[in-house]
Amino acid sequence: MGSYLNRKRNRFMSRFLLSHLLILFVPLVVFTVGFRETSQMMKRDTLESNLASLDRTKYVIDQSLSDINKLVDSISTDPNLQWLLTRSRPLSLAEYTGLYESTKTVQALYNLSAMAVYRYYIIYPKSGIILSPSGTYNLDSFYGYAYSVPGLTSDEWLNRCLVETAAGRFLPSAPVVVEGKEIAAVTYLRSIPVASYGEPQAMVLILIDADHLLEPLSAINTQGGNACIADAKGQIIVSTHPDPYYIVGSEDSSGYEEIKLDGTGMLHSWVVSGENGFQYSALARSDAVMLEFNRLQFTVIVVSLLCLVGGIAIAWALSYVNAKPLREIISTVRNRWDGLPESGVEDYKYLKSAVSAIVESDHSLRQQIQSSLPMARTNFVGQLLRGEIADSTEADSLIRQLELDFDGRLYNSVIVGVSGYSDYSDPETLKELNTLKALLKSVWEEFGGSHLKWYSWDINEQAVAFLTIHREESPENCARSLSADLEAFGKSMELDLDIPVFYEYGAFCDNLIDVYVSFGEAKVRAERRMILGASPEPELSDAGQWIYYYPLELEQRIVNVIKAGNRAELLKILDLIYEENFRRTQIPEDMGANLFSEIRGTIFKVFRQLNIGEYEQVYAISSMLKKIKLTKGSEERFRESRELILYLCDITTTSRETGLAHVIEDIRHYIQAHYTDSNLSLTEIASHFQFSDPNFSYFFKEHFRENFSVYLERIRIEAACASMEDPALALEEIAIQVGYNSAGSFRRAFKRVKGIIPSEYKKMYCETESAPGSRR
């Protein structure tokens, strides 16, 4: 009996100890799996972050290159510059006089050029004239005096420009000397005319600031690697590393991958521009990215092993201590009650039921999400048709989230409804209409679903709007195909199912966010069809029933566009209203009066929302309203209303520009007040003014015409120069006062800005002050 009890005691002890050890080992397993997953997640986050940064870089540089192309096009077509194409050396005195106007044109175009353009030159080889924003040069004296490329003779440089150059060519970033100053620049060469090769009549040489191209790449994680930009042929234009790696090699326009390069694991992200074929690549060494993580992992493993050894000893002690009273309790229970379940069974049952409940809850939640997805898709389609989404980026994001397939060439709106119903108050009628609309969608899918995609949105109890996506590029072919589908659909509904229907569709557009125009046209036509009956065109006797084109959705878009100050979009909408009411349909005078009443209401709505308080603006608006009221004829009244609406838009634009000027001045004052703080950074200022870092960097360069770091350094050095007037101040004290952590960093910054070290500058100042006749 004693031997039996001893075995029972040892077995219970073993189970208790096993339970404690499991508690020790499970976290180790979890840590191991977690670290592995975290490692993959860190790599993925780095790749995705680099991809996003490359995409932003692509956007910025696409804009800059587009501006550069516009600059070259302006140079190619400007008459003040074209007359030099056919002139030969030597120029006459009158022709030299004409160079004055050409020089002014070059300066004006430079002032309007992109920020990336550091300098540009127009070379006329026949006349030997070179025009630039900084002056006019002879071909013989230009190279070496105003511009030169280290390592190239004048003839080699001229051969590169005039013989090797074709219609637009980028040369990789390289040092050039411009007016005595060496900079790193990307050179863009383009012949004039574009089609000329070998001996062009003229050639445009544009120097692009390499720092402008590299600045967006600075946010990319390239530890142990590099980020670079290459042209469509794979030639590297700029790179963050002097000996760059470059890998794209994919037909996809963007993506990322983990690869092996010379036996080294690399994280590769890339983006290819659809505008110009430029390729943006970022490479980072996996081990460099994971260096800190690996150190942490090693530390955790060592600590975990130490804890495991100590935990085993503690687990054995706890098992022994806790087993004794438990053995006594279980022995007492077993002696008093027979047939009691094994200890812990009920707990496991409870755990099982709890897990089952969680799984069931998760399944229910997934079902709810899936069931709400169709409604979210329908609401999104309704927003597109009503014109409530005006941003393509926002639309693309929602399309991805809702898993929609909107890949097409043309878009338009079709409205289909059930005829013969006017009273919606009867519940039975509404129920019948809902059934008919469901049947209508099902039948339409048979006719439209074969060669085009569509998404539906219920306009009201009687009609359904379809947003249709066409793969065909020709609006005429799409219209013929869609008309045939609708005609077959109408016949099927009326002849086979005895359901009278009406249908209309709007114009085709190549931009998804412009589909509201098509919906507005289709809606007006459908309303006319419901008023006038089956006849697609009104008779003269129905003129009093004719309705004008000014849907509610279009009015709301006008209000939003005015408040945004988007004059170009506003002109497009006003032209659409004019075309629909006075060119395509010629609405009668009484409908014109109604149209003006609605437009007048829109004007007052905008006036209230803009909160215009300046007397001159209020007076001008009041005068224009009085003039409109006295104007005869609907068309003339619309033209006057159009001018007033554009005036309101201009007020918004002016207000936004004034606000922008205040922001720029506030930034200038903030830097002036905080430049002495050595921790002052672009990130801090961006956060203070509620910008993101990349956007603020771009904003600062655009409006201050230099990088933030250059601007801050210049402010600090100017303040340091003023402090040097006090001979009692040491350079170390001045460095701290103007925001530098050390005298060494201050000296380097001073040398960059002033060209000499601080001690030499202070010595020069003291000598000037001590000179006879100097003022103290």
DSSP secondary structure, 593-624, as one string: HHHHHHHHHHHHHHHHHHT---HHHHHHHHHH
Q: Are 676 and 738 in contact (CB under 8 A)?
A: yes
Give the C-alpha separation, 536 to 360, whole Å. Answer: 56
Q: Inter-axis angle of helices 589-610 and 552-564, to 10 degrees?
A: 40
Alpha carbon 201 to its chain centroid, in Å, reads 40
d(CA 237, CA 174): 9
According to DSSP H, which parts of 232-344 are helical?
286-289, 291-336
> For position 641, what pLDDT does the model report?
87
User: Look-up: residue for tokens 């936004």?
Assistant: 656
Residue 588 CA to residue 577 CA, distance in Å, equals: 15
The secondary structure element, H or E, covering residue 458 is: strand 453-458
Q: Quick one: tokens of 692?
A: 């993101």
The structure tokens listed for 683 are: 């990130």
Question: By CB neighbour count within 10 A (0-12 exposed, 13-18 middle, 19+ buried), where does 130 fall?
Answer: buried
**What is the distance in angstroms between the CA of the first residue and the CA of the last residue of the chain?**
113
**What single letter denotes the amino acid at residue 445?**
E
Cα four-point dihedral sign 18, 20, 26, 28? negative
User: Residue 257's beta-bridge partner residues?
Assistant: 268
Q: For the chain, give me the number of helices (H) and strands (E)?
A: 24, 16
For residue 2, the model assigns a pLDDT of 42
> Residue 184 in contact with residue 157, Cβ under 8 Å?
no
Query: Tokens standing for 26?
Result: 């499970």
The token duo for 93 is: 């005195």
Q: Which amino acid is at 270?
A: W
The DSSP 8-state label assigned to residue 96 in this structure reads H
- DSSP state, 509? B
What is the distance between the alpha carbons of residues 46 and 258, in angstroms, rounded to a whole number? Answer: 11
Q: What is the pLDDT of residue 403?
A: 79
Backbone angles phi, psi at 418, to 5 degrees: -95, 125
In angstroms, the CA 365 to CA 143 distance is: 73
Question: Which of 177, 173, 193 minimizes the C-alpha distance to 185?
Answer: 173
Res 175: pLDDT: 92
Name the residue among 697, 549, 512, 538 with its Cα closest to residue 56.
Answer: 697
- What letter would DSSP give residue 263? T
Q: What is the C-alpha to C-alpha distance for residues 38 and 58, in angstroms, rounded to an integer?
A: 30
Q: Residue 629 contacts by C-beta under 8 Å, 6 or more apart in sequence?
A: none
Cis peptide before 193, with omega less than 30 degrees from 0? Answer: yes
> Do β-strands 169-178 and 181-192 pair in parallel, antiparallel, or remain unpaired?
antiparallel
Q: What are 563-607's pLDDT values in tens digits?
A: 777 888 888 888 888 888 888 778 888 788 888 888 888 888 887
The half-sphere exposure of 166 on its side-chain side, counting CA atoms within 13 A, is: 1
Q: What length is written for the chain?
A: 776
Q: How far apart are CA 212 and CA 206, in angstroms?
A: 14
Q: Which of 389, 392, 387, 409 is nearest to 573 (CA)?
A: 387
CA dihedral 548, 551, 552, 553 (to 10 degrees): -160
Task: Give the whole-angstrom CA distance, residue 85 versus residue 124.
Answer: 7
For 192, counting Cβ atoms within 10 Å of its Cβ (0-12 exposed, 13-18 middle, 19+ buried), the class is buried
Cα distance between residue 419 and residue 435, in whole Å: 14
Contact between residue 406 and residue 469 where contact means Cβ atoms under 8 Å apart:
yes
- What per-residue string of b and e applies to 433-452 under the rule 16 or more CB within 10 Å gives b? beebbeebeebbeebbeeeb
Q: How many CB atoms lie within 10 A of CB 669?
A: 10
Cα separation of 378 and 375, whole Å? Answer: 5
Residue 187 to residue 171: CA distance in whole angstroms = 5
What is the rounded CA–CA span in Å between residue 685 and residue 671? 8
Crossing angle of helices 743-754 and 708-723, rounded to 10°? 100
> In the chain, which stretches have pLDDT less than 50?
1-9, 326, 328-355, 358, 534-545, 775-776
| Cβ neighbours for 205, distance < 8 A, ≥ 6 positions apart | 120, 121, 122, 123, 161, 187, 188, 189
- In the sheet with 410-418, reading across from the earlier edge strand, the strands are 453-458, 463-470, 410-418, 501-505
CA 184-186-187 angle, to 5 degrees, is 120
- pLDDT at position 349: 43
What single-letter amino acid sits at 718? E
Residues near 9 by beta carbon (within 8 Å), at least 6 away in sequence? 323, 327
The CA radius of gyration of the chain, in Å to the nearest whole number, is: 38
For residues 223 and 289, is the Cβ–Cβ distance under 8 A?
yes
What are the helix (H) ranges across 533-614?
552-564, 567-578, 589-610
CA distance 515 to 554: 12
CB contact set of 713 (below 8 Å; sequence gap of 6+)? 749, 752, 753
What whole-number distance in Å separates Cα of residue 769 and Cα of residue 776? 7
Q: For position 531, what pLDDT does the model report?
A: 58
What are the Cα distances from residue 234, in Å, to 188, 210, 214, 690? 16, 18, 17, 38
Q: How many CB atoms lie within 10 A of CB 742?
A: 12
Is the distance from CB of 109 to CB of 74 less than 8 angstroms? yes
Six token digits for residue 307 = 């804890």
CA of residue 360 relative to chain centroid, distance: 40
